Every structure is written in C-alpha cells, then in structure tokens.
Amino acid sequence: MAVAIDLGSQDMALAVSRENRMPRASVVITTAARNLIRLSKAGEKVESIAVYGSERDPTLHPEFKEITGNLRDLRNKWYPKAKLWLVSEDPHLDDPDVRHALTIYDRFAVRMEWGTAKTFTAMTGRKSGELAQLVANLSTLEHLVVQARFVRGDADNSTDAEVRAWLKRLGELKPREVHIQNSEPKAGGPRATKKLKPIAKSRVAEIAAEVTKKIGIPAAVYAGEGVFD
C-alpha cells in the first residue's frame, strides 16, 4: 500500500494564505499522522509514503522542508520500513532548502522524458536552455527515479532519434529506476493545451527494453502514475 500526500492542492479552506493556496503544514502533518496511526492500528502494511502535487509541484510549498522532516519522523515511528517518496513534475531545485530536504527522501521521482531541447520546449513551453540546467541539477542527486511518458501529436518524444538522445541523458543521470507511464497526460498539467496521445504499447515495451539493454537500468512500465499503483 502507498499513502499519498498531496502538497499541491489549492483548497482555500486549508490554504497557507490567499496568495499561496497550498495546504498549511499543520494540516498536512495532522492529516498524515491521523491516517498513519489508523492504518498501523488496523494492521495495514504500508510500503511507501509518497508526497506529490496535484495542481502545483510539491517543492514549491513554502514549508516543504518542515513538512518533509515531520513526515520522516512519522514514518520512522509508525512504518520504519516504508520508503519515503517525492514525486515531482518540475522540481524547484534552485532553492537550498529544497535541495536539503531531498536528502531525506528514499526515492525522488522526477519527470524526464525529453532527449532534445527542441522537444523539451515543444512539450513544456519552457526555454530550451532549462533542460540542460535540469539535467545538471538532477545529476548530483542520489536515489533518483526517472518518470517518462511517450506521446505523439503536437509533439513527439518517441522517435528513434529522440529516444536515443533521451537514453544518452539517462546515462548522464544514472537513476536508480526508470518508470515509463503508458497513460494519457494528466488533465490540467503543463501539457493540457497540447494534443498528445500515448504511443502504442508495443513501442513502450521496446523503449523499456532499450533502457535496460543500453543503460543497464531497471525499467518498468505502468498503466498509471507508477509509485501510486
């Protein structure tokens, strides 16, 4: 079982402030504690505790470092064998507090599905130079898990050339695992305005096999969001 904790919800009833609509740290920790205690008393087995953001990246939370420390303490008390995960679409790695907090997580799952800067810009709308900076930042981190979803449509990151470039970046990053998600892009995400469709399952399997063969990294294919399955 995975316990999911949403730091990116924008519920005004639980918000930090009118300017920052992410949930207050006290609410996050109290809710997490209540659920972990309930599961423990019921004899449920929890294998992972995953922090994510449904509407905003969890690393943008102003109390991300404090929340992370408290979640570690709760995990250590109630489920010491469970892995603490962070799942990020766009990590805020220029913040020193975020980088410090990342050392607490057993696994850091981040989206990295672009081989070239051109495709990165086409799929995200971000400046092409940001891809090289993201790779440079991620290459210094331990316990990295790469998440990728291959699509066709307004942009295509599944071509032979693009996949070769992506595999080269994986070689630079040396992640612990690669999770390939064979599902529709999430509604409301950065690709919501793009017309993108998942590629054929057979092509997904080919890409996963290439990861293992050429990079020597375990690659798993998921129908959903990976760690939450």
| CA–CA distances in Å: residue 83 to residues 37, 44, 48 | 17, 15, 5
106-229 has CATH 3.20.20.70 classification: yes
- Tell me the domain boundaries of the chain: 1-93, 106-229
CA dihedral 6, 8, 11, 17 (to 10 degrees): 120
Which contacts qualify for 166-172: CB closer than 8 Å, 24 or more apart?
166/113, 166/114, 166/115, 167/115, 167/210, 167/211, 167/214, 167/215, 168/115, 169/112, 169/114, 169/115, 169/135, 170/112, 170/146, 170/211, 170/215, 170/217, 171/215, 172/135, 172/139
Q: Is 55 exposed, middle or buried (0-12, 13-18, 19+ CB in 10 A)?
A: middle
Residue pair 79/36 in contact (Cβ under 8 Å)? The answer is yes
Residue 21, pLDDT above cutoff 60: yes
3-state secondary structure (DSSP) of residue 31: helix
Could you give the residue ranges of the DSSP H alpha helices within the chain?
25-41, 64-78, 96-102, 117-124, 129-138, 160-173, 201-210
pLDDT at 224: 65
3-state secondary structure (DSSP) of residue 74: helix
Mind listing the pLDDT tens digit for each residue in 90-149?
Answer: 898 989 999 999 999 999 999 999 999 999 999 999 999 999 999 999 998 989 999 999
Can you tell me the distance from the alpha carbon of 219 to that of 73, in angstroms, rounded to the nearest whole number? 31
> Structure pTM?
0.87
Mind listing the pLDDT tens digit for each residue in 38-77?
Answer: 999 999 999 999 999 988 999 999 999 999 999 999 999 9
